[in-house]
Each structure stands twice: as C-alpha cells, then as structure tokens.
Amino acid sequence: MELRALRYFVTVAEELHFGRAAQRLRIVQPAVSQQIARLERELGVRLLERTSRRVRLTPAGQRVLTAAREALAAAARVRVVAGEPAAVLRIGVASCVTQRLDRAVARLRDSERPAEPELVDLPVTARLQAVRDGELDLALVRGAVASTAVTVARAWSEPLHVVLAREHPAASKLAVSLHDLDPHGLRLPARDNDPPMYDAILAVLPMAPPRPPAGDLLNLLFEVGRDPEGWTLVPAEQLAGSRSERVHHVPLDPPMTVDGHIITSLATPEPCVASYVAAFAD
C-alpha cells in the first residue's frame, strides 16, 4: 500500500469530488480514479460510492479515512525526525512585516530543531489553499477559520484600533468607544480580501456596515483619510510603525481583540503545530 494512494483517497474524501481532488493534487483525474480503485482492491472494500451526481464515503471509507490520516501524519513525523537541520519552513503571510513575525522567525531559527523560514506573500484564501495542497507548511490568519480540511490553532490575540481621518472629531482622544462613532462613517475592506478578518470585525460591530466595501486595505485607508467622518477597525500590529498624514489610530474603549491562528495541514504532527504556536505566541 502506497502513501500516495492514501493521500489521494484523503483528498477525494475531503472534496467529495474527483475533479476538485485532481486539481488540488495537480494531476489528471483518471490518475486519481486509478489510485482509488487500486486501494479498494488492496483493501477488499468499497471506500466511495460514486454516481453521476455525487461522491460519498461508505461506512468502510469513513473508518479508513481516519486511519489514512493517522498514517500520513506518522509518515510526516518520520520525515521531521529524519529531516536536516534548518529545514526550509514555508510560511504564508500578508504583505506587512510585524514585530511578532520578526520575533517568531528568530524563535524558529533558534529552536531545538532549527528551521529557516521562507515567507510567502499570498491573499488569505490562496494561503489556505496552499496549505491544503502542501505548497506551504503553515499560514498566519487573523480571525476564525471554519474548515475541516486544515488544522487551525489559536496562537495569539491582539487589540483592534480605530483608524480615523486626522480631521475626525475623535482623532484627538486617547481612546474611542464604537458607540461614539457615526455608523455612516464606517468603511470596511471587501470581504473577499480576507474573509476571516472581515467576519471577526463584523462580529464586534454594534451596527452593520452601511456602505459598499472599499477594496483592499490600502484603498480602505485612503478612503478613510479623505473623509472627515470616516473610520475603520484594523489590528494594532498591522498599524505598528506606520505613519500617515491622512489617518490616525487610537485604541478602543472598551478594548476589543482579534485572535491570530496558525493554519497547518491535517498531516502536520501535533508537536510541530505546538512549536509553531509557541513561536508566534506572546
């Protein structure tokens, strides 16, 4: 029995679609079907029920899925134990570099099993897909990630700050309450840019955003800066060290936070996930 066949089966079981599984694996669909058929012959059981409309796991397939994931995780642990010192660790990140990221890179390099981080700038959705496809070892995401296709581990929490136009009446305050801000001045980026972060901000707002989204973060801050009543919410660490003549940021009163998560493959061994969390934790 080959690990490749188990990996193909797990991918099909997660997607419940041979075409999407082939895209994730970056191979042609017939190759996926052949490996699944061979695995079923070796095991002597039907793992998947396939019709023209859907694919679903059989009871035996559900049992084998759990064991297959355990086998892939065990194989990953073997690779980690046998790995070379300072192995490259591919980390999916946003474009901004924060103190937390700098500190984590140093921790990973100086850890018991040193790693050489390689930072890959990708949008959030692409980050998650790259982890699932094995193109990244881990990804950083702010906000909750609801997915059974990856491992999600909370690593830190950071405050949200209000970003205001310099001319905004509340810009001179030491802290601002959301209830003191005009809902019509609220700006948010488009959800497609960062769905977990968008949902996390929406969850703390006492009002629904009244205006169309402003695109990415750069366009968002530009819109806020030219509107004397404009404001938005941004994680404090994304604002650290940034300077602008157009906008000003202040803490919230009462404080509100957003969680940061480490995203890894389901096959990543638990000790590795724990070491990544420790590197990025406060």
Domains defined for the chain, CATH in brackets: 3-81 (1.10.10.10), 85-154+259-280 (3.40.190.10), 156-258 (3.40.190.10)
The angle that helices 29-43 and 3-15 make with each other, rounded to 10 degrees, is: 110
| Contacting residues for 36 by C-beta, under 8 A, at least 6 apart | 5, 8, 9, 12, 47, 48
Q: State the pLDDT confidence band at 81, using cuts at 50, 70 and 90.
A: low
Q: What is the DSSP letter of 40?
A: H
Q: State the pLDDT confidence band at 51, using cuts at 50, 70 and 90.
A: confident
Most confident of the ranges 1-5, 138-142, 163-167, 188-192: 138-142
Q: State the pLDDT confidence band at 222, using cuts at 50, 70 and 90.
A: confident
Computed over every residue of the chain, the mean pLDDT equals 86
The alpha carbon of 276 is separated from its chain's Cα centroid by a whole number of angstroms, namely 14
Most confident of the ranges 93-107, 143-157, 194-208, 232-246: 143-157
Rounded to whole angstroms, the Cα distance separating 275 from 23 reads: 31
Mean pLDDT throughout 202-230? 80
Q: Look up the pTM and report it.
A: 0.69
101-133, pLDDT tens digit by residue?
Answer: 889 988 988 877 778 888 888 889 889 988 988
